Amino acid sequence: MRPNALNYPHHCTVLLITVGLAAFGILGTIVSLNTFIANSQMLPYSCRCTSHSHSLCFSKSHTWAYTAILQSRVSDRFEPGTNATLLRNCTIFTGENNGTVVVHGDILLDKGIIKRLGKVTQREIDNTPNLTIIEANGAWVTPGLVDLHSHLGILSTPVLTGAFELNSRNGPILPWLRSIDAMNTHDDAYELAIAGGVTSAQILPGSGNAIAGQAFVIKLRKTKERTPSSMIIEPPHSLNGSDLLYEYSPFRWRHLKQASGENIDYYGNRMDSAWSMRSAYHEARKVKNAQDEYCANAEAGRWNLLNEPFPESLQWEMLVDVLRGRVKISNHCYEAVDIDSIVRLTNEFKFPLASFHHASEAYLVPDLLKRTWGGTPTIALFATNYRYKRESYRGSEFAPRILADEGIPVVMKTDHPAINNRYLLHEAQQAHHFSLPDNLALTSVTSVPAAAAGLSHRIGVLKKGADADIVLWDSHPLQIGATPAKVWIDGIIQIPVPSKTDTQNNVEVGMGKDGEEWKQIPKTPNWDRERNETLDWDGLPPLQGRKRQDAVTFINVQKVWLRNDDGEITEAASFRNDTPGTVIVENGKITCMEFNCIVRQNLSGDIINLKGGSISPGLMTYGSPLGLQEIEGEPSTGDGELLDALQRNIPRLLDDTGGVVRAVDGLMFGTRNALLAYRSGVTLATSSLARPVLLTVPGGHLIAGLSATFRTGSAHAMESGAIIQDIAALHVAVSHSHPMFEGNSVSVSTQIAALRRLLHGWESTNKETGLWFRRASEGTVPLIIDVDNADIMATLLILKSEIENSIGSRMKMVFSGATEAHLLAKEIGEADVGIILSPIRPFPAVWDQRRILPGPPLTNDTTLVTLLEHGVTVGIGVREAWQARNTRFDLDWARLESNGRISEHQVYAMATTDLERLLGVRAVEGVELVAFEGGGLFDWSSKAAAVISPQRGLVDVF
């Protein structure tokens, strides 16, 4: 604004604010505002919004008071016609005081805000019209979850090329871009996220640019306006180009995404990235200095020096606001070298940083974090999602606890769709399992991310005047499988999903969770030794166990499960709490299993106290490249690229039309993902060369070769028992084009035509391709088809019938992935086709996976339940190697999600006997047993203490 354009009706502003504040009886604020306005009357408006000494933008005490005043009656997001709601008899996690404040009482929601928390009087109830009363029966209530790192709407699901808005290729420095300009309101993941209790998310641009653009924090519910702008919480005043809506409007934070490290290599190396940031901030500082000089002249009355317009730059105005402390920056950053670079940048240009994201090495450099200008930033982490690229290689499940011990705020996030937004709470649950205190685990997805975004006065907390974003849970939120029974956003019910027809959506939630134990904070193992070792070894502690071939004695054993002669898992021993059992193992074999073994045999050697734990057969994992690569993003650490016979000629050297190869030839032992799986009770893996459909991977080729089964804890292929089966099954993959790699695929009809030809036996059995496809068509080896789309599955079922009728065989066909298999459950069951659900919890990442059955609280049925009810044999798998370690929790979650329709024994078989049958794994000689301390295989309180290996004649002690 030009200096002589001071025609704003200040007296009207003062009068309106005074009248408004008087209505609330806040006379002190009236005086403060009058004094403030009087002192700034003679300044140009631009200077008053720039000057630290005069700007209301920086008068936080006035800002928050003003915001609270506005919110004490009605939310700016309130939609007329919304009923008030009273939740009675709740256990309320408020998120306040580091999550230590838990209130037993009621919550009154009205006009989009929390009107009362604790004791709601009968008078308030009587004076609240259109009130819906809900009896919570002591259930847990939390603030709506806040995801600080999400790409909802700009990387929409299912992913299509027309709505892929993640990164710009127009340069490394783009602070003028805004994620809201690309946010798709039709993303299927909004509803899924709400079904997980997530009510708010920060929508960040991608990490392909050093300064990627402006971010926005949104509510996930769709508004009546149906626009991206209407979803923003406290839209910045600059969003519509008018700066401040009113001259004295409350301060509102802006948000910016920065990135450093590997992802910006499109524009050069780390040095290039650092220079591009420094250069940009230097330009912004020049603009800021010119503004400050302009305003200094105005404050001093040197009007003769103000001959030019106020110095502004649309290009650099965002970074100018960063330098003025008005912006919450989220910085994508992994390694210590990159964290150090950004910390130096903040000190060079003197601006605060709100949060480091991913930050896989942040726990190793806490003192460096504390040197950030303006204060220590919040660290936003994954729980166990690491080792997918070099800079994430040292990431640790113990990082949240280590950082918390240093007094550094911790946030758990999803980076949706890297992890489905719906499972944000599971990130906090895992952090808690690995020793983050329960209060901090819950604040890591509520009040701490809200504070990092500058919005803790309205979201992430439950208190009077805060937004009415509430989640009522079916169990304690840190219990595995905790599911929202009800979700409100702005006081508007979202879960159960309001019906669009006259038919009500009656979805059962929490069946089988009636006991008081489900309302308790789950117990967790003691990880002190492992956490300390992680620090001692700079993030890469040795993962191999101590190998004991002499006697090892397990005491305080509750149960022992073994495989019988038919390979089935049965309970072999069960001991009472008052007389716990003892199990003695010599040379890897159980020699005694009674309550008085030590007395009878008087053996020495290692004594391991299982503290009421159990011993049971290990699990098997399938579906990921486990054992075929160390770091997904580093080609030199893996088997390499598979040849695709449909897109290039197979080299004559192979002398084979389809180029069928064997995974066993590319196996790598001792990878960190394999050893972590081993230490988590996953002792076997079947891996193929089929690549699962991922957003960053173009997907598998039609002919994916022959899988192999191996022991995850073995040192090398020549160790006794390391390779269980060098050939397990033949694998193919059939799918539509990948949205991001369209040129890397051929038509579905071409893929089916090739498969038909191969299965009919029209290739010579003298070559690998003809031999193995002939065996698959005859049913002597399983044919595992990686497929998600129901229409393609139907075509494959027809093809199976055609082949069987032609040659008189019974094929062993299995669909892996199988996201849409529930649509054909009856036909799949009748065709005797097996299913490997990979992953067990579906997500519509691409078009082939869009028709999911999400389960409670959106649907009563899950894909798993539907298939089992139609007699289908089901196994479970994962798509990425780091996920293998979580298999036992995936199984228990699937059981809980079934609302009592699936037993523990059934889910156990899905990663043992049933999965082995589906993959053609014959009877395993010397089944390894896992000894769990503090509980059983599926208990959140337990951890693997040892693996008993009869085949190798030893016990691995962890």
CB-facing half-sphere around the CA of 237: CA atoms within 13 A: 16
**CB–CB of 556/597 below 8 Å?**
no
Burial of 365 (0-12, 13-18, 19+ CB in 10 A): middle
- Give the span between the Cα atoms of 324 and 318, in whole angstroms: 10
| SS (HEC) of 923-948 | CCCCCCEEEEECCCCCCCCCEEEEEE
Split at pLDDT 50, 70, 90, the class of 3 is very low
**Looking at residues 400-422, what average pLDDT do you find?**
98
pLDDT at position 106 over 80: yes
- Give the span between the Cα atoms of 649 and 660, in whole angstroms: 13
**CB–CB of 405/531 below 8 Å?**
no
Q: What is the pLDDT of residue 744?
A: 65
More confident residue, 698 or 367: 367
**Looking at residues 838-866, what average pLDDT do you find?**
96
Q: What is the pLDDT of residue 924?
A: 87
Backbone conformation region of residue 137, classed left if phi is above 0, alpha if psi is from -120 to 50, else beta = left
Q: Would you call 200 helix, strand, or coil by DSSP?
A: strand
- Give the span between the Cα atoms of 804 and 557, in whole angstroms: 50
Query: For residue 783, what are its two tokens?
Result: 């044919």
- Give the span between the Cα atoms of 807 and 736, in whole angstroms: 29
Please state, rounded to an integer, the average pLDDT across all residues of the chain.
Answer: 90
Give pLDDT tens digits for 540-590: 999 999 999 889 999 999 999 999 988 899 999 999 888 889 999 999 999
**CB–CB of 358/377 below 8 Å?**
no
Out of 171-185, 388-402, 502-516, pick the least confident: 502-516
Q: What is the pLDDT of residue 435?
A: 98
Q: What is the pTM of this model?
A: 0.93
Query: For residue 448, what are its two tokens?
Result: 């701490």
Split at pLDDT 50, 70, 90, the class of 35 is very low
pLDDT at position 69 over 50: no
- Give the span between the Cα atoms of 287 and 320, in whole angstroms: 7
Q: Would you call 106 helix, strand, or coil by DSSP?
A: strand
Give pLDDT tens digits for 757-800: 999 999 999 999 999 999 999 999 999 999 999 999 999 999 99
Instruction: Quote the strand ranges of 564-717, DSSP E.
Output: 569-574, 581-586, 589-594, 606-617, 619-622, 682-687, 703-706, 708-711
Q: What is the pLDDT of residue 242?
A: 52
Q: What is the pLDDT of residue 626?
A: 97
Containing 108, the helix (H) or strand (E) segment is strand 102-110
Query: For residue 101, what are its two tokens?
Result: 């404040």
- Give the span between the Cα atoms of 602 and 545, in whole angstroms: 25
pLDDT at position 374 over 90: yes
Q: What is the pLDDT of residue 695?
A: 62
Split at pLDDT 50, 70, 90, the class of 13 is very low
**Among candidate residues 204, 188, 196, 198, the one with its CA nearest the CA of residue 220:** 198
**CB–CB of 563/544 below 8 Å?**
no
**Looking at residues 436-443, what average pLDDT do you find?**
98
Q: How far is CA 444 from CA 401, 409, 432, 883, 948, in A?
A: 11, 8, 10, 22, 37
Give pLDDT tens digits for 283-319: 999 999 999 999 999 999 999 999 899 999 999 999 9
Split at pLDDT 50, 70, 90, the class of 59 is very low
Q: What is the pLDDT of residue 691?
A: 79
**CB–CB of 55/48 below 8 Å?**
yes
Give pLDDT tens digits for 907-934: 999 999 999 999 999 988 889 999 999 9
CB-facing half-sphere around the CA of 94: CA atoms within 13 A: 20
Whether omega before 857 lies within 30 degrees of 0, making that bond cis, reads: yes
**Looking at residues 584-600, what average pLDDT do you find?**
83
Q: What is the pLDDT of residue 679?
A: 98
Give pLDDT tens digits for 611-649: 999 999 999 999 999 999 999 999 999 999 888 888 888
Q: Return the percentage of the chain with pLDDT > 90, whole number.
A: 82
pLDDT at position 448 over 60: yes
Query: For residue 132, what are its two tokens?
Result: 């819906």
**CB–CB of 589/929 below 8 Å?**
no
**CB–CB of 332/273 below 8 Å?**
no
Give pLDDT tens digits for 713-754: 999 999 999 999 999 999 999 999 888 776 667 899 999 999
**Looking at residues 690-703, what average pLDDT do you find?**
72
Give pLDDT tens digits for 168-224: 999 999 999 999 999 999 999 999 999 999 999 999 999 999 999 999 999 999 999
Q: Return the percentage of the chain with pLDDT > 70, whole number.
A: 90
Residue 472 amino acid letter: L
Give per-residue burial for 793-813: e unless 16+ CB within 10 Å, then b.
Answer: bebbbebbeebbeeeebebbb
Q: What is the pLDDT of residue 670?
A: 97
Angle at CA of residue 788, ends 785 and 793, nearest 5°: 65
- Give the span between the Cα atoms of 178 and 201, in whole angstroms: 15
Give pLDDT tens digits for 875-890: 999 999 999 999 999 9
**CB–CB of 785/815 below 8 Å?**
yes
Angle at CA of residue 852, ends 845 and 488, nearest 5°: 90
Residues 6+ apart with CB under 8 A from 496: 486, 505, 506, 507, 857
Q: What is the pLDDT of residue 587?
A: 92
Q: What is the pLDDT of residue 696?
A: 61
- Give the span between the Cα atoms of 98 and 277, in whole angstroms: 34
DSSP 134-190: EE-TT-EEEEPEEEEEE-TTTB-SS--GGGB-S--SS-SB-TT-BGGGG--TT-THH
- Give the span between the Cα atoms of 564 and 571, in whole angstroms: 9
Alpha helices in 538-686 (DSSP H): 597-601, 672-678
Query: For residue 79, what are its two tokens?
Result: 């939609």
Q: What is the pLDDT of residue 743?
A: 62
pLDDT at position 708 over 90: yes
Q: What is the pLDDT of residue 247?
A: 53
